[in-house]
Amino acid sequence: ETSRIAQPIGSALDRFIKNNQNQFQYASGELSQILRDIALASKVVNREVNKAGLIDIMGAVGSTNMAGDQQQKLDVLANIRFTRALAKGGEVAALISEESETYVDLNNDGKYVIAIDPLDGSSNIDVNVSIGTIFSVYRRKSPAGLPIQEEDILQKGSEQVAAGYILYGSSTMLVYTTGYGVNGFTYEPSLGEYFLSHPDMQMPDNGKIYSINEGLSNSFDTSVKEYLNDCKEKAFTARYIGSLVADFHRNLLKGGIYIYPPTAKDPKGKLRLMYECNALAFVAEQAGGKASDGRGGRILDIQPTGLHQRTPFFVGSKHMVEHAERFA
Ligand code: AHM
Ligand code: MG
């Protein structure tokens, strides 16, 4: 039984996960547990993100410690929170993170591999602008019990069994897919729970928003420049937060396209295939949208060759991405 189960708006995340467990290709509560662990860590990170502006003040007020406890940077802290939460349950064999040079070995008996960008858009923390966490869940290929292999880590996005993001915005939201549509949950801080607020999310096929760092346009390919001219001729709306999760989320709800093309500084684009692009590509496709490298190559079909590999990223409303590709 793998059909979509209608859930009433307002379902608590835990109940939702439990009720949908029968959709998972590999039975067992393991994937459910991973999703719960990610949700739990995100609540801790959310609390820390909300206090970000107070850290210096509180630090000064409470600074009796002459040894000088160094305040950890929030992105480092978020990495620790998610790693700990995912290590605890034993389901995860290895974790790869934008914050770590190589993969982190967790438990050889675990059946899953996680890729995560614990706190994306971190340059936005100090200015009180939305930031996010992005995650992908893969099933390992080698048998559990053995040390983790390269083939377990370097999997294509099309092999994700779950993916999603947390947006720390004016509300905090968790949006994820296990391959049966996309559901969005809003965090209720006083209850400490996520509740289903956006069931079966669908990205509009078309939109009028384009999101790109146009300040870099001198070094864009002609095709991208021409597409941007087309957007202006149509008097589209330019919106760029500079936090991928927030830009993506807005376009998911309203219809739009996000582009990070090759630039002089980043000839392959800036964004990382395994921590940023794959998860959002999976969510986009599950919501009826599209994600490509801008030249007709599906993001989810790229075979990664390195952990921190980058790719040009065109993601959003299906017709907009297809139209942008026509200029290439
Ligand atoms: P980060 O992983 O160092 O935070 O960089 C990723 C961020 C994305 O959230 C955002 O879309 C992009 O970088 C913005 O880059 P730019 O400032 O070049 O426009
Ligand atoms: Mg990032």
Nearby residues of 230 by Cβ (< 8 Å), 6 or more positions away: 323, 327
pLDDT value for 41: 97
Greatest CA span in the chain, whole angstroms? 62
Q: Which protein residues are within 6 Å of ligand 1, measured from CB?
A: 98, 120-122, 213, 242-244, 247, 270
Surface-to-core class of residue 68, CB atoms within 10 Å of its CB (0-12 exposed, 13-18 middle, 19+ buried): exposed
Ligand 2 centroid to Cα of residue 18, in Å, is 30
Q: Can you give the pLDDT at residue 291?
A: 98
Residue 56 confidence (pLDDT): 65
User: 79-95 b/e with 16+ CB inside 10 Å = b?
Assistant: bebbbebbbebebbbbb
Annotation says 276 is catalytic:
yes
Where does residue 308 fall: left (phi above 0), alpha (psi -120 to 50 degrees), or beta otherwise? alpha
Catalytic residue among 30, 37, 75, 325: 75
* pLDDT at residue 66, rounded to an integer: 41
Report yes or no: 226 and 234 within 8 Å, Cβ to Cβ: no
pLDDT of residue 123: 85
Give the pLDDT of the chain (328 residues) as one tens digit per residue: 344 556 788 899 999 998 888 777 665 689 999 999 999 999 999 999 998 877 666 554 444 434 444 556 888 999 999 999 999 989 999 999 999 999 999 999 999 999 999 999 988 988 899 999 999 999 999 999 999 999 999 999 999 999 999 999 999 999 999 999 999 999 999 999 999 999 999 999 999 999 999 999 999 999 999 999 999 999 999 999 999 999 999 999 999 999 999 999 999 999 999 999 999 999 999 999 999 999 999 999 999 999 999 999 999 999 999 999 999 9
In the structure encoding, which two tokens stand for residue 324, read together?
Answer: 């942008």
- Taking alpha carbons only, the member of 198, 118, 133, 199 closest to residue 168 is 133
CA distances from 152 to 97, 139, 168, 177, 280 (A): 15, 8, 30, 21, 20
Query: Which atom of ligand 1 lies at the shortest distance from residue 132's CA?
Result: 9
Write out the E strands in the chain.
Answer: 92-97, 104-105, 112-120, 131-139, 160-168, 172-177, 182-188, 193-198, 209-211, 237-238, 256-260, 290-292, 313-316
- Residue 58, pLDDT score: 58
Closest by alpha carbon to 23, among 11, 12, 32, 36?
Answer: 32
Residue 245 Cα: closest atom of ligand 1:
9
